């Protein structure tokens, strides 16, 4: 297919980078760090942004282990919020293990009210812990709450470093609990000023606790006013899905799928020459005659692309989905065809 050929030949400068990430993701047992990992902090920094240590076990374990990590993190977050204090480094090490509910549908009742055998205790515990609205949000998120693994994040930063990115104003429109912040490479970390947006209130609360120096907004990206032409980098793993979203400031994007909308609004937020590095489903690249792809083609250059194996999110999110990592550079002016995806 044309898209596959384009991805395979997008840029020679990323060949080694591509080989590293693909080798890591297809290995029989992926180590916690294969490419470059953010080193452990040299000294405690309880009131600054957390730096995820290289040996931190994030997104690991079976379904019940991940359930327990979530519950412990939620209880700790509420304790911190009630006390009105910052998290210590030890507490941040607990919060960072929250993985959300993607891939753990067993933790919720089925539509008919029944429960998965062997999960009755967990279902009851969660129904006691979460408010009704939180429980409904968590149940819905089992389909698309898939946090990004350390290997993919480290590879994205390695690619950005090759492209010359050293820091600046950074937008993450679906931050989750902020792994892209906590795993930022040391050479650029201190020069990054973060604006982080997250719909889920629990995830947003954890992000605030882990990364107090970031500006964290608890709302949907479509509801947040983002000034155009101001950011140096947009990064992340936006929600997958085909449903459209409504944004009163970007009505022309109303027919876009949600993941294409995140790309498009993020491109608008970038300054000329700014970079976008995001994970997206294969649909954006594979869909023939895509109006969404043509929109991007008028506004950004494709700098690099990698097709991930469909097991890339298997270990940390329990899902098989084929994704691409795309690196785009915002054009200085609208220039039809500059991306080469039309």
Q: What is the pLDDT of residues 129-152, one digit of tens each?
A: 999 999 998 998 887 677 888 999
Mean pLDDT, the chain, integer: 84
Query: Picking from 40-49, 87-96, 173-182, 333-342, which range would have the lowest pLDDT averaged per residue?
Result: 333-342
Residue 315 belongs to a domain: yes
Q: Which domain holds residue 98?
A: 63-143
- CATH (domain of 251): 3.40.50.150
Looking at residue 242, its pLDDT comes to 82
Residue 128 — pLDDT band, cuts 50, 70, 90?
Answer: very high
- Considering the domain architecture, whether residues 203 and 280 belong to the same structural domain is answered as yes
Residue 48 belongs to a domain: no
- Considering the domain architecture, whether residues 298 and 325 belong to the same structural domain is answered as yes
- End position of a domain, from candidates 143, 166, 194: 143
- Considering the domain architecture, whether residues 153 and 287 belong to the same structural domain is answered as yes
Q: What whole-number distance in Å separates Cα of residue 145 and Cα of residue 203?
A: 11
- End position of a domain, from candidates 143, 174, 197: 143
Q: What whole-number distance in Å separates Cα of residue 334 and Cα of residue 207?
A: 35
- End position of a domain, from candidates 143, 158, 173: 143
- Considering the domain architecture, whether residues 225 and 211 belong to the same structural domain is answered as yes
Residue 139 belongs to a domain: yes
Residue 207 belongs to a domain: yes
pLDDT tens digits along 147-200: 888 999 999 999 999 999 999 999 999 999 999 999 999 999 999 999 999 999
- Considering the domain architecture, whether residues 127 and 154 belong to the same structural domain is answered as no
Domain tally, the chain = 2
Residue 285 belongs to a domain: yes
Residue 284 belongs to a domain: yes
Q: What's the pTM value of the predicted model, to 2 decimals?
A: 0.83
């Amino acid at each position: 297919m044309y898209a596959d050929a384009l991805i395979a030949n997008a840029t020679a400068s990323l060949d080694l980078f591509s080989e590293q990430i693909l080798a890591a993701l297809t290995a029989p047992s992926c180590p916690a760090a294969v490419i470059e990992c953010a080193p452990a902090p040299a000294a405690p920094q309880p009131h600054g942004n957390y730096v995820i240590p290289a040996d931190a076990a994030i997104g690991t374990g079976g379904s019940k282990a991940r359930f327990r990590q979530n519950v412990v993190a939620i209880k700790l977050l509420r304790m911190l919020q009630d006390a009105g204090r910052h998290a210590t480094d030890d507490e941040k090490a607990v919060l960072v293990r929250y993985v959300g509910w993607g891939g753990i549908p067993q933790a919720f009742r089925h539509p008919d009210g029944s429960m998965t055998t062997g999960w009755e205790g967990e279902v009851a515990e969660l129904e006691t812990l979460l408010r009704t609205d939180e429980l409904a949000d968590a149940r819905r998120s089992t389909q698309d709450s898939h946090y990004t693994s350390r290997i993919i994040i480290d590879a994205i930063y390695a690619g950005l470093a090759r492209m010359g990115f050293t820091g600046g104003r950074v937008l993450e429109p679906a931050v989750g609990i902020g792994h892209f912040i906590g795993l930022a490479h040391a050479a650029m970390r201190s020069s990054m000023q973060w604006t982080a947006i997250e719909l889920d209130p629990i995830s947003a609360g954890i992000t605030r606790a882990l990364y107090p120096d970031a500006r964290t907004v608890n709302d949907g990206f479509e509801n947040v006013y983002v000034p155009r032409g101001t950011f140096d980098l947009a990064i992340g793993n936006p929600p997958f899905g085909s449903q459209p979203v409504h944004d009163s400031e970007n009505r022309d994007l109303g027919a876009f799928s949600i993941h294409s909308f995140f790309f498009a609004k993020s491109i608008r937020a970038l300054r000329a020459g700014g970079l976008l590095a995001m994970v997206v489903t294969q649909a954006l690249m594979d869909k023939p005659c895509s109006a969404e792809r043509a929109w991007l083609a008028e506004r950004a250059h494709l700098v690099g692309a990698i097709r991930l194996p469909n097991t890339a999110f298997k270990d940390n999110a329990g899902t098989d989905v084929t994704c691409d990592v795309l690196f785009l550079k915002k054009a200085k002016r609208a220039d039809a065809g500059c991306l080469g995806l039309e």
